[in-house]
Amino acid sequence: MASSSKKVAFETKILPTAPKEKYEYLEEFVSGEFTSIYKAKLRNDSSIKDFKLFAIKILKRYELHFNEREVNILKKLDDSRHITKVFDFLQEESKLISIVMELCMTDLYDILMVKKIVVEVPEKKTMFSHILRGLDAIHSKNIIHRDIKTKNLLLSYDGYVKIGDFGMACQGPPFYADHSVIFTDQVGSIHYRAPEILLGERKYSERIDLWAAGCVAYELWSNEILFQGKNKKDQLEKITEICGFISDETWDAVGKLEGHAEYEKTTAFRYRLESSLRDKLEAVTKDECIIELMLSLLSINPYQRKTAEVLLMHNIFDVGSKPPPAYNLFPLKMIVEMWPRSATIPRCHFRYNMNFDMEIDSDRDNEEEKDEEYEIRMKFRMSRVMMRQQKYRVQKKLKTILQK
């Protein structure tokens, strides 16, 4: 959490917007040191019609300024559809506060790393454009999320990828400003932590979120984590192995960071001078536009990372690009809904294509129509797709065995 010599503080206190009795707590599905999250529903009729179930996040930190910061940041971002929607703030026992949010289906980590669903390029483009729109909304309010990762990127029931969990977020300086705010470097998951933080930078900005977004983009295109370090030193080594030695040539201000002198002395780093990042990216996609986008986000020099606003104007998100972004994420949503929940059921890699997506769209005269007959037809079609993909996986495995 931000500790600063020049404090960025909120003046307002947390005020409940509804009584706790308005909601019925159903089950706890996340339990952590600082938060617990429950599924919940409304006890009585309400003006909120769009969501039947809610996620209630109880903030268990007794340091009120941390809770106030998270609540106030969420209030500022209430107008973006790519941020998890907040409905109410409730007063729990003692000083505890809870946040009533929309309940999402799952997160990108579950889709990419657990279920290993191989998403087609049109859907990847749409998903990443949603992530960039969420980041643009956050950064336009001079907020740093500080914990962008696939586990905090959620697929909602209305078919959007949304950024969640603002427990580490803080108010930061505008882009490219010469600021004196000093933040903690103990932020974010190690696999997504920007190199400047690993080298001791304490005056960072929104650019750290862009690095993390680059790591997410690689996961989206490869179903693999790009830099899998075990600790800070190991993570720096993993970054160096792929991105090259971090020196004044790649970033002229890096020598001023307190951790760079020790980094230079480390023999393991010294001889890995050349970047192999492009080769790594070319192994997962041949699309030069996508490669350039990832190279921008994964630049060692934070000042060379293009903003989310600029990247959203990239031609890979145009309907004229080949292949164009998917019209919506409804097919992916249906796949996630139907995916076997039991760990005893074998899971398979599979793909779905734009023809199937277009077939879905042509069946719907009204995008909002979700009648029972339509749902039955969709589930039937999805079961056929999954059967075809299981057959494809078996054939591929047999081919591999025969080649050996």
Q: Is 58 helix (H, G, I), strand (E, B) or coil?
A: strand
| Angle CA 16–22–27, to nearest 5 | 105
Query: CB–CB of 229/238 below 8 Å?
Result: yes
Long-range contacts of 31-38 (CB under 8 A, 24+ apart): 33/60, 34/59, 34/60, 34/61, 34/167, 35/59, 35/60, 35/167, 36/60
C-alpha count within 13 angstroms, C-beta hemisphere, residue 245: 17
CA distances from 317 to 101, 212, 330 (A): 29, 20, 18
Show the DSSP H helices in 155-206 as ranges: 195-198
In the chain, the amino acid numbered 190 is I
Number of H helices, E strands in the chain: 14, 10
Joined together, the tokens standing for residue 268 give 């393991």
Quick one: residue 128, left, alpha or beta (phi over 0 = left, psi -120 to 50 = alpha)? alpha
Q: Cβ(273)–Cβ(245) under 8 Å?
A: yes
CA 270 distance to own-chain centroid = 33
Select which of 78, 79, 136, 147 is catalytic: 147
Radius of gyration over every alpha carbon of the chain, rounded to an integer in angstroms = 22
Which phi and psi angles does 336 have, rounded to 5°? -65, -40
Q: Which residues of 98-108 are buried (b: 16+ CB within 10 A; e: fewer)?
A: bbbbbbbbbbb
Phi-psi region of 349 (alpha: psi -120 to 50; beta: other; left: phi over 0): beta
Among candidate residues 26, 91, 80, the one with its CA nearest the CA of residue 58: 91
Instruction: Determine whether 357 is an active site residue.
Output: no
Q: How far is CA 271 from the centre of its chain?
A: 33
* CA dihedral sign, ordered 257, 262, 265, 270: negative
Indicate which residues carry an active-site annotation: 147
